[in-house]
């Protein structure tokens, strides 16, 4: 199974967001997409999932063209995604958020479900059980009947990935899954995502957290100004001087940035403690 971008282009007026990107994503691996802000990482996900149209080139999964399909058709072709800003069905419970993903395969039996109570009960039970398994995997089972919108932020991030998994996807697109998570939660997320690696699943992670990308991903695609700058294994990416210059900066820069980030975290921590 392969997800292929060929000569992909996205243009807003004169502004080119994605410029002639060609690459392929194999199943069984976790692929990282990194690059500075505005490099076009999220645009790639949004085009694959059908949220944005494709200006030129094509996206195909196992030879089947995805670009030009409607958003729900792309989802039904096996593409699941999460969003940079969490988009759960807030007033539905956590488990309902997952259960509703059975819609495409079960909607044709709606009348039977409504008019034949034993069938309806059996369906509801089967749905709940299979979704509960996914919740358990993410350690969310005790939140099953809690409204999704009232969950803590970190749990919501997990729940969104759980919802994407409930679609039984062949391609899982994660748009900054670690954004806003603390150290502990990020570690938990990294462990869970590693377990999701499967020979019949393509996983694509857009992420700013370099530790997560370098430990988790088998292959990394580096975007810069809408172009594909480099692709290779984490160690190859770290060794590439092009990537260092374009994105990571020099070795010294990295240390500086890390130090600055640590300071910032410490400050925030102090402030949070003062408030509480």
Binding site residues, other proteins, CB under 8 A: 49, 51, 70-72, 75-76, 80-81, 83, 87-92, 96, 99-104, 106-107, 109-110, 113-115, 117, 120, 123-124, 127, 163, 167
CA distances from 238 to 155, 214, 232, 234, 244 (A): 31, 9, 10, 6, 7
- Closer Cβ to other proteins, 4 or 92, answer by number: 92
Question: How far apart are CB 226 and other proteins at their closest, in Å?
Answer: 24
- Closer Cβ to other proteins, 127 or 155, answer by number: 127
Nearest to 204 by CA among 229, 241, 231, 238: 231
Question: How far apart are CB 116 and other proteins at their closest, in Å?
Answer: 10
- Closer Cβ to other proteins, 109 or 271, answer by number: 109
Question: How far apart are CB 59 and other proteins at their closest, in Å?
Answer: 16
- Closer Cβ to other proteins, 79 or 212, answer by number: 79
Question: How far apart are CB 192 and other proteins at their closest, in Å?
Answer: 20
């Amino acid at each position: 199974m392969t997800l292929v971008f060929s000569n992909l282009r996205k243009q807003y007026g004169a502004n080119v967001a994605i410029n002639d990107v060609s690459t392929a994503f194999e199943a069984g691996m976790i692929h990282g997409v990194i690059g500075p802000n505005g490099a076009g990482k999220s645009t790639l996900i949004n085009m694959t999932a059908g949220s944005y149209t494709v200006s030129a080139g094509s996206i195909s999964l196992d030879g089947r063209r995805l670009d030009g399909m409607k958003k729900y058709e792309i989802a039904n072709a096996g593409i699941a995604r999460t969003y940079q800003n969490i988009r759960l069905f807030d007033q539905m419970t956590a488990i309902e958020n997952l259960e509703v993903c059975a819609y495409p395969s079960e909607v044709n039996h709606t009348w039977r479900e409504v008019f034949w109570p034993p069938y309806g009960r059996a369906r509801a039970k089967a749905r709940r059980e299979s979704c509960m398994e996914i919740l358990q995997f993410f350690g969310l089972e005790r939140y099953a009947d809690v409204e999704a919108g009232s969950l803590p932020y970190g749990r919501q991030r997990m729940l969104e990935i759980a919802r994407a998994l409930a679609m039984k996807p062949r391609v899982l697109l994660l748009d900054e899954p670690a954004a806003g998570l603390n150290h502990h939660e990020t570690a938990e997320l990294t462990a869970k995502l590693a377990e999701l690696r499967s020979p019949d699943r393509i996983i694509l992670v857009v992420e700013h957290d370099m530790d997560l990308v370098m430990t988790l991903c088998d292959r990394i695609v580096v975007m810069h100004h809408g172009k594909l700058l480099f692709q290779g294994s984490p160690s190859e990416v770290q060794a590439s001087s092009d990537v260092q210059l374009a994105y990571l900066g020099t070795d010294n820069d990295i240390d500086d940035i890390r130090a600055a980030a640590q300071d910032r975290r410490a400050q925030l921590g102090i402030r949070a403690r003062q408030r509480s």
